[in-house]
Structure 1
Amino acid sequence: MSIAKTYTPADVEAKWYQRWQEQGFFKAKANPRKQPYSVVIPPPNVTGVLHMGHMLNNTIQDVLVRRARMQGFEACWVPGTDHASIATEAKVVSLLKEQGIEKKDLTREQFLDHAFAWKEKYGGIILEQLKQLGASCDWDRTRFTMEPKLTEAVLRVFVDLHQKGLIYRGVRMVNWDPLGQTAISDEEVIPKDVMAKMYYLKYEIVGAASYKPQAASQNESLSLEADSLQLIIATSRPETIMADVAVAVNPKDPRYQHLIGQRVRIPLLGRDIPVIGDEYVSIDFGTGALKVTPAHDLNDYELGVKHKLPVIDILNNDGTLNEQAKLYVGQDRFAARRNIVKDLEEAGHLVKVEEYASIVQTSERTKAVIEPKLSLQWFLKMEHLAKPALEVVENDTVQLHPAKFKNTYRVWMENVRDWCISRQLWWGQQIPAYYLPDGTYVVALTPDEALAQARTQPGNEALTLADLRQDEDVLDTWFSSWLWPISVFDGFEDPDNADVNYFYPTNDLVTGPDILFFWVARMIMAGLEFRKEVPFKNVYLTGIVRDAQGRKMSKQLGNSPDPLDLIAQFGADGVRTGMLFSAPAGNDLLYDEKLVEQGRNFSNKLWNAFRLIKGWEVDAELPFANDKAVEWFGARLQAAIAEVDEHFEKFRISDALMTVYKLVWDDYCSVYLEMIKPAYQAPIDPETLRHTSAYLETLLRLLHPFMPFITEEIWHELKARGPKEYVCVAAWPKPQPVAGAAALLARMAQALEIVGGVRTIRNQKGLGPNKPLTLAAKTTDAELQTLLTDYTGIIRKLAALTEVSVVEAAPAAAVGFVAGGAEFFVPLEGQIDLGAEKERLTKELDYAQGFRASVSKKLSNEKFVANAKPELVERERQKLTDAEAQIAALQQQLAGL
């Protein structure tokens, strides 16, 4: 059989993925004979394409699912996409503009036709890309958050929560996207570091002549001007002064106590507003006087509610100033800022301008600067839902991995706010609220149900469907995704169906900590509310993939490679392992292409080991010659299997991979195969080959969840397989006890330590790895002598020795080392220039002795010892100890020569 010299991922990956699908290995169904293991994919946006975060997240999910499948569970990984209201609508609007079509010229139905057509053409791209990564999803179960059944589930939940009094409609402060012209959720708001300007403005004190300011303070120039009795107020948004309704000061601030209850005049506008006292205002921040604009700042809004202040909203939905502003009407907010600053300066109201580092909140989708805005929206009361969802995490019914995120979760849940669930869009589930001619509304699943409900009210008996007007808004995308673990199994359509009863609750959720509250917590709330059961048992929180500078990878920064290019260059297995090499749960991954190179090199190492084994000829007449090596690796393998299982149990996926990696690269390839490898073109005995091939099969099973493609390729190349005999569905290895395992491992470790000592001498003396040497052990330890006898073949082979002997005295012209408490010597006469070696060692000894003298002198200085930090003194003492050990070793080597 001809085996390719090098492993080429592109030649095998598509082949094996197609065969796995043809065999139906990824399909799952309710099976009472098996335990279920289910995972739901965090649905990527239907607009999305694969990025590095997806690569990490979905690789971890696939590792967990493939292992569970091999363990004999009915493994079900449900894929799907999220309709992503804001992102998709923006995408469709942009494409329509390219065709000369404006959204405003379309009916809702016409726009949705265009949107669904776009979704059908482009919406599944990311799922196809996941297949290239090796994701073993049950593709027949692919769901979409806006498909009819899932849409009906969303509407049922809305109606149910409204009937329970948990959903209400009201005017509240929301995050407003002026470009998208919709409210957005907190998780769709992205903070951005900017250099901003702080403007210091004069507000005239009404009736100033009758007031006397308090004693001047050092901040007087920026607070209260004694000559003109004008209040100085600092603001970063001068265009909102037309919405000011008060100025707040701290009642304990001596500069302003006399002004509380008085009035000041807004510059340019000339409107008088009161000065109020509130301890919320920081005395030390800015000038200590705060303009209060309830319509355009959340904290100001709460101050306004507390002090019963009026609300003046000066912004239109598109970010332009409205009639309430009186000035700059129709101008964009930022144009109005430029103009008002100019006018304030000309009128003498601008004291100064300072630049400072600030953070602005921007829309994740449109990049527009967010406006805090009072808006009539639909809200969901969260307190009732949050309390039980906090309890199940606190008592570990749902376990977070790593557990450090429990604190973050607790803070969020204990400070939960009502959820704004409405969006001013067309793409999404339209809110099932129907307005009657008199302005009231009813909430119902369908228009017909709404009409029937409306007709029960006096005076509405003659209403028709034409008299009802459905709410224009759609529901927040998260209002569908919080139902995902239930809705993907049709748990709202039929709460008692076989799938939801079998696969719910799911086992593990893999996601990012940035949506721990916005998605994870809400899914827990939904599960407890609608199924009386948590939606999953474990939450594995991945880190964020960052570049070498610590920046989050993004297309905007241009610091993120294309995942598909990486797969093409390094193979899916190389990329998967490269991502996992340094991806401990909850900690960010600093991406370096060397990681995926290391993954590819690992694939090559495994392939070369397979080729080596397949290249050996077998001589059936040869006796079993490698019992010590075979016994040792058997014990090492079983210990590693137990270690891997423990890592998985604790969700240390990266550690599990590293355990297998070291087992394969270090123990199997670099040590075991070297132990048992026959001489060039010599045959191997059948028993050794049988064990060696069996070990490789076990290693392939351990590696398969991490590296599915190459393991399947080698699995089938190793020997003939039946039609269903794939490593994909082979049994996961279970640790088996090995009699005397600890002693086996300890004895081989000692033998390998001796080999390491010889190899170190070879490196130090510039002797080639195959230059024949001898080794002499000076010991009276019977156990060590037995070990040298039992393992002499292994030691001689790995250290390239012609002889291993036990001696009473050190041989002449030898270099020694200590291993296992015994002295070992490698005679070098005739191997190296002894004179040159003595000269080199003498120079090293002179330097070491000089270094010891300088350290001793420092330590003999009483002032240094008394005054230096204890850790510094201890460091010097350690230097002295190390120097004396080095001197002793060099003297011993010189004596040997």
Structure 2
Amino acid sequence: MFVSRIDRLSFIRIYSSTYCCRFYSQCDNDFSATYNVDKVQEKWSNIWKKDKYSSPKTSTNHHFSILLPPPNVTGILHLGHSLTVAIQDSLARWYRMKGQSVAWIPGMDHAGIATQVMVEKYLQKIKGVSRHDLGREEFLLQVNNWKDTKKDVITRQLQSFGASLDWSREYFTMSEKHSRAVTEAFVRLAERELIYREKSIVNWSPSLRSAISDIEVEFLSVTGKTELEVPNYQEKVSFGQITEFSYRLKDSDHLLTVATTRPETMLGDVAVAVHPDDERYCHLIGSHVWHPFRETFIPIIADSFVDRSFGTGAVKITPAHDYTDFGVAKKHNLEIIDVIDEHGNMTSAAKPFSGLPRFVARERVLTELANRNVLGLIKDYSMTIPKCSRSGDIIEYLLKDQWFVNCKEISNRAIEAVKNGTLKIDPPIHEQTWYKWLENIRDWCISRQLWWGHRIPAYLCSNDKESTWIVARSENEALSKAREKLGGSIKIKQDEDVLDTWFSSALLPFSVMGWPDRTDDYQRFYPLSMLETGHDILFFWVARMVMLGTELTGELPFKEVLLHGILCDKRGKKMSKSLGNVITPENITRGVTLQDLNDQAKQNYETGVFSQKELQRTEDMNAEMFPNGIPECGNDALRLTLCSLNIKSHNVNFDVSECVTNKLFCNKIWQASKFVLTGIEKNPDFVKGCPNMIDKWILSRLAWMVATANEAFSERNIHVVTRVLKQFVYHEFCDWYLEATKPGLADVNSKIAFGHLDTLIKCLDVTLRTMAPIAPYLADELYAQLSHRIPSLPSFDSLMEAPYPAEMEFQVFRDQNVEEKFEKIKKIVSSTRSLISSNRIRPRTSEAHVIVRSQEDADLYRSNSKIITAMSKILGLKVSLETDQNNIDNCIFDTVGTDCSIYLVLKDAKKMVELGDRIENKISNLEKRLKKLIEKTSAPGFITGAPIDVQKSLAEKKDALRKEIEKLSQMKVKNT
């Protein structure tokens, strides 16, 4: 029970106390009329920070540890980050209030490619210089300055949003501490032969002159010829076409036709492949064709990978520029020729086209093929085009010497962990994606040709005769290993490349705890309790954390993965710069005009964050979505809105108007609190009273809310928590209970008033503690205000140190029988209100007679007649059994289910006549509409000729009209 819980916690003031609640009216002077968002947020942000409520407790062995996915230091936080923070903070606060020691760890990601690209754009836009103009050292200094500026902004954003992060454990993915962990991880993996250096195909961005990860590749689908802008090209480039051209067979005048979407790569063709069972070509297997530009014969090979339905069924093999072709070349021992370099230009191997930009070379190749009479059809073709998400460039698949992680063995452990249930993925729909990715995993290219990032701890060591790569923790260690291996005088140079950002991020669950050392934090908080992030990085981050975590620590880095959907706008479009629909959280919490929104977009353009197109799209979207700007909503309203979304959906649609609605919800709770304080002011000497039926009903609903909220938090369905809060506060506590208590509270110093007040205080206390994890500013402020004025309320410096309401404490209040009885009262009230409103009767001008079949119902309505009268806004209520019913004149009639009837008696005879005429007219109009529908649906050929959905729709309309006529007929005025 709740009382025993309070006793165990040694609270001085408890509900069971008979302590008189003294209310000083002068205290109401500083209780504002409405919820003052700015004042409250500033006050509580300072309190939480000063008193370090976010630090883990040392008094318990029950821990909840979680990592905030590190925001990139490319810019400020957007709503996607806010969604993550709202989810994690709600869970952290819930566990904290449940008495657990919570370690919620913040940090920032250096975001190698993203940050370098952003700073390069900024420098080019503001100073007109490139990183090559500055040099590596000066450029990195500029990036560090950028990082410091953005880090400060992000920190302020997180603190303003109310995120209860433990800032004493803050990390940065390029700090000295984390760099040590990255180096150690690389060395250990290399020692276990899980990291190797090899020439292989990678995703290459010519604009960045770097390999990029799969997550930084966007695929653009086109269904035919499409002109696209490509960086460093003045003219648009055509895509979405397939080109046929022919090779001449050796010792023959016959031609073999192939098809390709990338004609320029034919300069690196080393073979033509056909399916071994293709009757069209099986006689050609083993023969050769003449390559007109390389001026050599290339073989025709057989391989079952060939799709006989693609193009002509004969495919060109260009192993240096295609993943599949590279594998085929290794399988058949074919030559590998690079014809496109890292700048996107043709290499010397392309002979007459050497030095040309790749897409210029494409047109020249087509021209030459036409001149040689071997160019065939060029047709529209549906295809996907790989683009670099950072630069907008078209990806090239290049053969490069890179460092790779051998993923096969460590991925098997990640697969098995999900299969055997030791790793839970929620929602489980993503398990199949997990298996698909990991079962078909390629080795992971971790080299990046950047300046900003972790330098790869590998050294090219050489003597006069040979050279070798040495992986080591330092240059001295590398020298020592090289001398043992090579002997003699050693020259040494560290690899210029840096590591893929995802490599360093994959170490975070254990590196932030002090790994490779077994620190106190590591032993106390590792593995993490859970990992929460977006499902779009399930493979790129989550899977890699699991793979490296199990390999380097011997344990899963976490046993639960909670994945949220992709945040979209209200139309279901993913929020992105390119669409112009990104929303900054502060514009919602503080409010913003349309002009200010556009000024922000222009500033982003002027500093290189937005392109001209992105600026225009953003301004267009601002005008469409926010023609009147965005009103100030506050952090609580934004948090409530984000937590109201079903995060486990694939896409999560966000509508700013919901924030306005939730601000009204916050104010509703504020006004309800003022109502309670007013009731106490009128009953200054109240003591604990006995609850009547209405009190028992709301306490039962309170118990339901607490049980449902706890279950929802446990199952990570936070939207259910917000839903039951609104259901209770709006529809039960405010709409029904507060209204129902007004007659009782008017009877000053009565037992009924005391029972109401005691119940009101319980409800406010429990409601505020229930909503504290989601709307912490409002909950803390109201609780402090109320406990200051109501001595029977426990007092806390912050609700973060209060107990979260537990289901066990409130089971005693749950009463299904009382809830069923009150539902009957609600139906009487709702039906009476409907009679009054639908017939335009002025409130409190009529009397209601309720006729029931059972004595139990009669007793129920009589004992609650004051409540029914007050809430129905009638003059009075009379309750009778059917057996005792007398004639009731001058009334309109309605039924409530099958066991109850309501007669609304009007005193004004003239009004009765008007009402009767109105009802008769309405019935007449409805009957005419019904007659027309019957005639239409009875017409010859309707049943055989009309579509089924039309027949069904009209049948439903007829049923609805009949029911409405029947209802109005029952309401017919009964005159004397």
Partner of 2:509: 485
Alpha-carbon deviation of 1:841?
Answer: 3.2
Q: 1:27-66 to 2 correspondence within 5 Å?
A: 27-28=55-56, 31=58, 33-66=60-93
Among candidates 466, 477, 496, match of residue 472 of structure 1: 496
Alpha-carbon deviation of 1:400?
Answer: 1.6
Please state whether the residue corresponding to 2:221 is helix, strand or coil.
Answer: strand
Among candidates 283, 291, 295, match of residue 320 of structure 2: 295
Partner of 1:619: 683
**Letter of the 1:601 counterpart:** L
In 2, the alpha carbon distance for the partners of 1:270 and 1:776 equals: 104
In 1, the alpha carbon distance for the partners of 2:936 and 2:887 equals: 37
Among candidates 395, 408, 419, match of residue 383 of structure 1: 408
Q: Does 1:731 align with 2:774?
A: no
Q: Deviations over 1:75-133 (max 9, x none)?
A: 11100011111122233444555556654466655544443343233334222211121
Partner of 2:470: 442
Alpha-carbon deviation of 1:690?
Answer: 3.4
Q: Is the 2:640–2:775 Cα contact (8 Å) retained in structure 1?
A: yes
Q: 1:127-526 to 2 correspondence within 5 Å?
A: 127-194=155-222, 195=226, 196-207=239-250, 209=252, 229-266=254-291, 270-437=295-462, 438-457=466-485, 460=487, 462-463=488-489, 467-492=491-516, 494-495=517-518, 497-526=519-548
Q: Deviations over 1:139-178 (max 9, x none)?
A: 1111011111111111111111111111111111111111
**Letter of the 2:891 counterpart:** A
Q: Is the 2:890–2:906 Cα contact (8 Å) retained in structure 1?
A: yes
Alpha-carbon deviation of 1:9?
Answer: 1.1
In 2, the alpha carbon distance for the partners of 1:621 and 1:366 equals: 72
Partner of 2:836: 762
In 2, the alpha carbon distance for the partners of 1:561 and 1:110 equals: 33
Partner of 1:704: 772
In 1, the alpha carbon distance for the partners of 2:672 and 2:381 equals: 60
Indicate the larger mover: 346-355 or 695-704: 346-355
Percent pairwise identity: 33
Among candidates 797, 819, 823, match of residue 896 of structure 2: 819
Q: Deviations over 1:467-500 (max 9, x none)?
A: 22222222111111111111111021x12x2111
Among candidates 744, 748, 756, match of residue 688 of structure 1: 756
Q: Is the 2:787–2:795 Cα contact (8 Å) retained in structure 1?
A: no
Alpha-carbon deviation of 1:351?
Answer: 3.4
1:347–1:813 CA distance, 2 compared to 1 (3 A):
farther
In 2, the alpha carbon distance for the partners of 1:733 and 1:104 equals: 60
Q: Deviations over 1:491-514 (max 9, x none)?
A: 21x12x211111112222221111
Indicate the larger mover: 686-695 or 505-514: 686-695
Among candidates 647, 650, 657, match of residue 594 of structure 1: 657
1:268–1:831 CA distance, 2 compared to 1 (3 A):
farther
Q: Deviations over 1:372-400 (max 9, x none)?
A: 11111111111211112122222332222
1:310–1:60 CA distance, 2 compared to 1 (3 A):
same
Q: Is the 1:79–1:139 Cα contact (8 Å) retained in structure 2?
A: yes
Partner of 1:643: 708
Among candidates 102, 108, 119, match of residue 75 of structure 1: 102
1:255–1:869 CA distance, 2 compared to 1 (3 A):
same
- List gaps (5 residues or longer) in structure 1: 211-228
Partner of 1:14: 42
1:740–1:362 CA distance, 2 compared to 1 (3 A):
closer
Alpha-carbon deviation of 1:234?
Answer: 2.9
1:231–1:850 CA distance, 2 compared to 1 (3 A):
farther
In 2, the alpha carbon distance for the partners of 1:372 and 1:104 equals: 25
1:709–1:192 CA distance, 2 compared to 1 (3 A):
same
Q: Does 1:662 align with 2:730?
A: no
Q: Is the 1:796–1:802 Cα contact (8 Å) retained in structure 2?
A: yes
Q: Is the 1:629–1:675 Cα contact (8 Å) retained in structure 2?
A: yes
Q: Is the 2:701–2:814 Cα contact (8 Å) retained in structure 1?
A: no
Indicate the larger mover: 678-687 or 478-487: 678-687
Indicate the larger mover: 529-538 or 403-412: 529-538
In 1, the alpha carbon distance for the partners of 2:372 and 2:469 equals: 51
Q: Deviations over 1:343-367 (max 9, x none)?
A: 4445544434334443221222222
- List gaps (5 residues or longer) in structure 2: 1-27, 227-238, 591-631
**Letter of the 1:728 counterpart:** M
Q: Is the 1:65–1:77 Cα contact (8 Å) retained in structure 2?
A: yes
Please state whether the residue corresponding to 2:875 is helix, strand or coil.
Answer: strand
Alpha-carbon deviation of 1:838?
Answer: 3.4
Partner of 2:781: 713
**Letter of the 1:737 counterpart:** Q
Alpha-carbon deviation of 1:844?
Answer: 4.1
Q: Is the 2:206–2:344 Cα contact (8 Å) retained in structure 1?
A: yes
Alpha-carbon deviation of 1:680?
Answer: 11
Q: Does 1:779 align with 2:852?
A: yes
Q: Is the 2:528–2:557 Cα contact (8 Å) retained in structure 1?
A: yes
Q: 1:791-810 to 2 correspondence within 5 Å?
A: 791-807=864-880, 808-809=885-886
**Letter of the 1:162 counterpart:** A
In 2, the alpha carbon distance for the partners of 1:129 and 1:526 equals: 31
Alpha-carbon deviation of 1:582?
Answer: 2.7
In 2, the alpha carbon distance for the partners of 1:463 and 1:683 equals: 99
Please state whether the residue corresponding to 1:732 is helix, strand or coil.
Answer: coil
Number of residues of Structure 1 aligned to a counterpart in Structure 2: 871
TM-score by length of 1: 0.91
In 2, the alpha carbon distance for the partners of 1:306 and 1:272 equals: 19
Q: Does 1:126 align with 2:154?
A: yes
Alpha-carbon deviation of 1:852?
Answer: 6.0
Alpha-carbon deviation of 1:810?
Answer: 6.1
1:250–1:680 CA distance, 2 compared to 1 (3 A):
same
Alpha-carbon deviation of 1:809?
Answer: 5.0
Q: Is the 1:585–1:651 Cα contact (8 Å) retained in structure 2?
A: no
Among candidates 677, 681, 684, match of residue 742 of structure 2: 677
Q: Does 1:554 align with 2:576?
A: yes
Please state whether the residue corresponding to 2:736 is helix, strand or coil.
Answer: helix
Q: Is the 2:894–2:970 Cα contact (8 Å) retained in structure 1?
A: no
Alpha-carbon deviation of 1:35?
Answer: 0.9
Q: Deviations over 1:398-425 (max 9, x none)?
A: 2222111111111112112211111122
Among candidates 732, 740, 744, match of residue 818 of structure 2: 744
Q: Is the 1:546–1:591 Cα contact (8 Å) retained in structure 2?
A: yes
1:439–1:598 CA distance, 2 compared to 1 (3 A):
same
Alpha-carbon deviation of 1:69?
Answer: 1.0
In 2, the alpha carbon distance for the partners of 1:818 and 1:275 equals: 87
1:160–1:254 CA distance, 2 compared to 1 (3 A):
same
Indicate the larger mover: 633-642 or 331-340: 331-340
1:726–1:549 CA distance, 2 compared to 1 (3 A):
closer
In 2, the alpha carbon distance for the partners of 1:622 and 1:504 equals: 52
Q: Is the 2:846–2:907 Cα contact (8 Å) retained in structure 1?
A: no
